[in-house]
Structure 1
């Protein structure tokens, strides 16, 4: 088989990553606009209740992700990776556009929040098939010696979406008055998903099927439970690290006397640095091997997390807060550059779409969807502002054990993905 050209790899990676950009862009926009959306869709409630209702709607997308995996995973395995990628992006960009056009509660009453819940659920369905299918597509196209680096660029697309969402909302807040944001400004970020999605759909429409999927003729394959457990264990730090650093930490900084704009700017800077760290993690995996990078970054997170939360909880000067945030985000960013290719190589081609999507999205639904709540609950229960560190420490410990187990499996089966079984 002829290796794909550099131009083909660039187009393939961009087409795959742009869907994840739309996914996390929508996530960021909703999160940053939560207080505005609370007033628009839950105007009769008290401010606190309205905000809780807004976040509950936000969380409905997490609950839908495993269902989305059950829909899009089999499509990717039976019809091909490309149809699943096109369908998930079409649904995601379309739903975001509809949210931007949705009438407020003042116009159509209770139908407005009901429709918002349904639309967020539909976004969760799309997200359940988007990220993992994009990872699979890039990994199956990439040369073996570049799989880590190229797969990491899909994760870069996710961080780019968060960064873009933060910049768009910050810009609107700076340019518009509060009344303008409530009247029409909140719609703009959602509607911007349409042109981004249109570009992505155009790029994906030009894609062919992956060589691995085309070459895989075995109609029935299955993966062992040990592979699923390994995949789950590796994904724990990936998921919790992502949602803690790039979602919860903003609120944590605000609680420790940073203004919302300053806290968002600090997280945006961490996201920008994270773009390069993710790629570095993927390249390290290609050069040094996946297991050493997984284990090394997990151990680094175990070492630095508690001291960094202790420093942040003491409300240090701004420059020190920025430094602590960057160091705290570095480990999860490096880790997320290598974890995705590990998922792909644990599962055989013909069931890869279904198994990877369902395993990963169950972890996202259970741990990613609850990470912010658990962190805040730890602070409330213990009265200790350093206590959120315990969740990240637990995640790093689980993933360190998984990294050791992955290394042992790789040593037993150096020429194939570990723990694979094929039924003929």
Structure 2
């Protein structure tokens, strides 16, 4: 199981490493690709390009999710990993506006679109791959380990950005240092490709692949998809707000890029453990109760924590509030993956999970940075991000109340001690 979850998770690590690097160097990219704009407008433009990859993700999910149901999970994961690694490398080689003018932001948008197509099939297929190998009583835990790979990608991006910022200084980081993290996606992708090529197809897919064409269409598939979109709202908003937007917010509060990235790195390290805890708790008490607990905490705690964050005057207080603000969303993202999987039967799982999840990510995750930054600039209130997070939690909490109608029954935990799974 360890090799399986590692192979599944590493693609999410690459995917979120790419997204993290883009978000973490957003202020640098704004000056290189939108140099004629005011700082606020340039940052908005950079976030709009960030959103471009999310808008296209449902199309990637439609194509690659369908592929995962037809030819298998493993070959689809190989395709997505290659696509993400290659596109990220090309971003690292892209000339800036100073060299090629308006063509630079256009090419950046096109590459982000290509990245979104590949990413559209990655996450859903990866969590399905891990869960379909797992024993029934540990499916939540195994799916959450893939989600841990997502946070690990953000953490890796944060570590590399901090290291480069400290080692190179602001001027070198602005001129060429920002390219290095994007170029590192290529060797990271090569490692992931090696791991994925060593594994086989999932046993659950092997059982149904011969008869998949004769199986009935998923009943209430539209209802299942709508519920998944609602559940995924907090997953998408919480993930990108807590770990990408907050980093840029800290910089706007006049802290350095290094301080901001170290704070986010600590929040990510704590969050990785909370993701695993969320998956394990969902195996014990059920998906719906765990989701409701997490959304309740987010609704109650987000505003006071955001207020504390924005009023912090030293890095220690800043770190404490950033970690606490990210805690409940991290726990939530450990519960959500197995919830998505259990909404759909095996033969329709690839397309069902990938398409609905990526629609939610496009609508909520892809716009959260832009919407939150716009709210802050419009209202003059730098705590506005809390209301975005609270709104997503209200939506997901209400959606969770309807989940029993589509969730597969949870397998009982075996009595007594369970022998450890082989590596």
TM-score, normalised with respect to structure 1: 0.89
Of 387, 397, 414 in structure 1, the residue corresponding to residue 409 of structure 2 is 414
Let me know the Cα RMSD of the aligned residues: 2.1
Q: What residue in structure 2 maps to residue 4 of structure 1? A: none
1:98 aligns to 2:90 (yes or no): yes
Deviation sequence 1:195-240 (CA, Å, 0-9, x none): 1100101111112111111101232432412212221121111111
Q: Which shifted more, 135-144 or 388-397?
A: 388-397
Superposed displacement of residue 331, structure 1: 0.8
1:162 aligns with 2:154: yes
Deviates more, 1:144-153 or 1:392-401: 392-401
The one of 101, 104, 120 equivalent to 1:128 is 120
- Are residue 238 (structure 1) and residue 239 (structure 2) matched? no
* Of 163, 167, 182, the match for 1:175: 167
Counterpart contact for 2:259–2:315, Cα < 8 Å: no
Cα deviation per residue 1:34-53 (whole Å; 9 max; x = unaligned)? Answer: 23333434455565554444
Q: What does the per-residue CA deviation read over 1:123-147, in whole Å, with 9 as the maximum and x for residues that have no partner? A: 0111111111101111111111111
Q: Is the 8 A contact 1:223 1:347 kept in 2?
A: no
After TM superposition, which residue ranges in structure 1, 4 or more long, deviate above 6 angstroms?
A: none
Match of 1:321 among 293, 298, 318: 318
Report the 3-state secondary structure (helix = DSSP H, G, I; strand = E; otherwise coil) of the residue aligned with 1:389.
helix
C-alpha distance 251-102 of structure 1, shift in aligned 2 (>3 A): closer
Deviations 1:339-366 (A, max 9, x none): 1000000011111111111111111111
Indicate how the Cα distance of structure 1 residues 256 and 223 shifts in structure 2: closer, same or farther if over 3 A, else same: farther
Match of 1:369 among 366, 369, 383: 366
Partners of 2:226 and 2:7 lie apart in 1 by 30
Matches within 5 A, 1:128-277: 128-216=120-208, 217-219=211-213, 220=215, 221-224=217-220, 225-277=222-274
| CA distance in 2 between partners of 1:39 and 1:338 (Å) | 38
Indicate the larger mover: 293-302 or 94-103. 94-103
Q: Is residue 57–residue 120 contact of structure 1 (8 Å, CA) maintained in 2? A: yes
Q: Is the 8 A contact 2:165 2:258 kept in 1?
A: no
Q: Is the 8 A contact 1:343 1:356 kept in 2?
A: yes
Cα gap change, 1:316 to 1:179, in 2 (>3 Å)? closer
- Compared with structure 1, are the counterparts of its residues 12 and 35 closer, same or farther at alpha carbon in structure 2 (3 Å cutoff)? same
Of the three residues 401, 405, 422, the one matched with 1:404 is 401
Distance 1:204 1:312 in 2: 40
Deviations 1:41-73 (A, max 9, x none): 445556555444433322211111111111211
Please state if 1:334 is matched with 2:328.
no
How far apart are 1:27 and its partner, in Å?
Answer: 0.9
Q: State the alpha-carbon separation in 1 of the partners of residues 300 and 40 from structure 2.
A: 37
Distance 2:116 2:273 in 1: 27
In the superposition, relative to structure 1, how do residues 109 and 98 fare at CA in structure 2: closer, same or farther (>3 Å)? same
Is the partner of 1:202 in helix, strand or coil? helix
2:68 paired with 1:76: yes
Cα distance in 2 for residues equivalent to 1:41 and 1:324: 32
SS in 2 for 1:222: coil
Equivalence for 2:421: none
The corresponding residue for 1:420 is none
Aligned partners of 1:314, 1:180: CA distance in 2, in Å? 31
Alpha-carbon contact 2:60-2:121 (below 8 Å) kept: yes
Q: Which residue of 2 aligns with 1:343?
A: 340
2:12 aligned with 1:15: no
State how far apart, in whole Å, the 2-side matches of 1:39 and 1:381 are: 22
Deviations along 1:310-351, one digit per CA (max 9) or x if unpaired, are 333433554333222222211111110011000000011111
Alpha-carbon separation, structure 2, partners of 1:237 and 1:131: 16
> Cα distance 1:258–1:403, how it changes in 2: closer, same or farther (>3 A)?
same
Structure 2 CA distance for partners of 1:249 and 1:415, relative to 1, 3 Å = closer
> 1:287, 1:173 → 2: CA distance?
43
CA distance in 2, matches of 1:330, 1:106: 41
Give the secondary structure class of the aligned counterpart of 2:218. strand
Given that 1:82 and 1:204 are in contact with CA atoms closer than 8 Å, whether structure 2 keeps it comes out as: yes
Structure 1 match to 2:79 = 87
Instruction: Output one character per residue of 1:170-199: Cα deviation in whole Å (capped at 9) or x when no partner.
Output: 111111144433443222111111111001
